Amino acid sequence: MRLVLAAGATRTAEIEGISAAGATRELMAHTPAIDAEIVAYGRPITGEHVPVSPTGCPTPAVLTRAVREAVGFDLTVVDAGLDAETGAPTVGVDARPGRDVRDPIAVPDADEILATAREFGRALPDDELLIGETIPGGTTTALGVLRALGEDVGVSSSLAENPTDLKRRVVADALAESGVEAGDLAGDPIEAVRRVGDPVLATVAGLAIGAAAAGTSVTLAGGTQLLAAAALVRHSGITLPLSLATTAFVDEDPNVDLDAAAGAFDLDLTVTDPEFERSNHVAMDRYVAGEAKEGVGAGGALALAAEAETPMRAVRGRIEAVYDRLDVGADASASGGSGPEDSGGADGGA
């Protein structure tokens, strides 16, 4: 079992109020790079900054790493347009950070990225793949792609209060600037990503298409961004089996009708509840309050743990251990009060 983690950036995350994935623009740019390091090594290695929300909710990379330590799985990080260097080993797909979704063209090389990722997905020798993402601002571009494709699916947020009005305004502007009306790009997934998507969506869709075509069992590991990726696959005319594994936090989100979406995109759905309400550890209580919810493949990782019959109690214990190793408290006090700081990798950081 391998998790392929697509890590990248979109300038959309820099829109005021749309993403809280970092105390500063500079820190936010590092979130996907650090998420990758946490899953790869168990802690950040190119710096001390740990992505946490203003209230101390840690990046879901902590959940994914905890399951990796408990159950064991291979990891391949794909540089799907990272804005910062990462100490995690990466495979390239010639992606650069995406532009602001309101630019007429958000991902100029969407076609090439998708094709390169498809070939890589096809080449991977694994029987089963999880595919996850980390990109601040990613739920907004996911919403843009869903609208362009004409899919009426809501998107989640890493914030307890989803800034849905702002996202809708941004997406309306994005469609207008791109000269696209909702549904115009049904059946044209590459153009949808090029106009109003992000490079991670192109990468995830390409990986899924290539791997599924090679007979690999593909599980999209995440929330509404992965639903957008599934929509891209389906709008490519591909009917091969696809699964989606996410957390109970996404399932409980009133902004998303997960079952309807899974039905619409013919996804075999797995929802895993890590029962964080049984803990009052700081690493978990903000999830219970509705923050973060997903990201960095966490839902897929939790499904793996359940499948391996690892008790959720053991997973929670491991999450505490990973979190404590990160020394978030020291980091939070160092940057305390300087501004919002969020999980970023969490289902879009927006």
List contacts with its own copies (CB under 8 A): 40-43, 45-46, 72, 76-77, 87-91, 120, 123-126
Measured in whole angstroms, the distance separating CA 26 from the mean position of its chain's CA atoms is: 20
Whole-number minimum distance, CB 327 to its own copies, in Å?
Answer: 12
Contact in structure between 219 and 211 (CB atoms under 8 Å): no
Nearest-CA neighbor of 210 among 185, 243, 233? 233
**Bridge partners for 268 per DSSP:** 243
Provide the terminal-to-terminal Cα distance of the chain, rounded to the nearest Å: 29
Least distance to its own copies, CB of residue 79, Å = 9
In whole angstroms, the minimum distance from the beta carbon of 76 to its own copies comes to 5
42 or 104: whose CB is closer to its own copies? 42
Q: Which is nearer to its own copies, 7 or 228 (CB)?
A: 7
Report in angstroms how near the CB of residue 41 gets to its own copies at its nearest: 5
Compare residues 41 and 169 and give the one whose CB is closer to its own copies.
Answer: 41
The answer to whether the beta carbons of residues 130 and 305 sit under 8 Å apart is: no
Tell the smallest beta-carbon distance from residue 213 to its own copies (Å).
15
Residue number, 36 or 233, with CB nearest to its own copies? 36
Min dist CB 257 to its own copies, Å, is 36
Q: Where are the beta strands (DSSP E) in 193-241?
A: 217-221
Nearer to its own copies, 50 or 77 (CB): 77
Question: What is the per-residue DSSP string for 278-311?
Answer: G---HHHHHHHTT-----TTHHHHHHHHHHTT--
Compare residues 29 and 228 and give the one whose CB is closer to its own copies: 29
What's the min distance (Å) between Cβ of 298 and its own copies? 20
The minimum distance between CB 84 and its own copies, in angstroms, equals 13
DSSP letter at 215 equals: T
Q: Supply the angle between the helices 298-307 and 312-326 in degrees, to the nearest 10.
A: 140
Q: Which is nearer to its own copies, 234 or 318 (CB)?
A: 318
How many CA atoms within 13 Å lie on the side-chain side of 257? Answer: 8
Asked whether 188 and 235 are in contact (CB, 8 A), the reply is: yes
Q: Of 41 and 307, which CB lies nearer to its own copies in the complex structure? A: 41
Nearer to its own copies, 144 or 345 (CB): 345
- CA–CA distance, 350 with 345 (Å, rounded to integer): 10
Contact 236, 209 (CB under 8 A): yes
Task: Give least dist CB 7 to its own copies, A.
Answer: 11
Instruction: Please report, for residues 34, 42, 104, 214, the alpha-carbon distance to residue 99 in angstroms, rounded to integers and kept in the order given.
Output: 21, 31, 9, 32
Q: Which two tokens stand for residue 103?
A: 């630019």
| The pairing of beta strand 242-247 with beta strand 267-272 | parallel
Q: Where are the beta strands (DSSP E) in 10-121?
A: 74-79, 90-92
Nearest-angstrom CA–CA distance, 80 and 133: 9
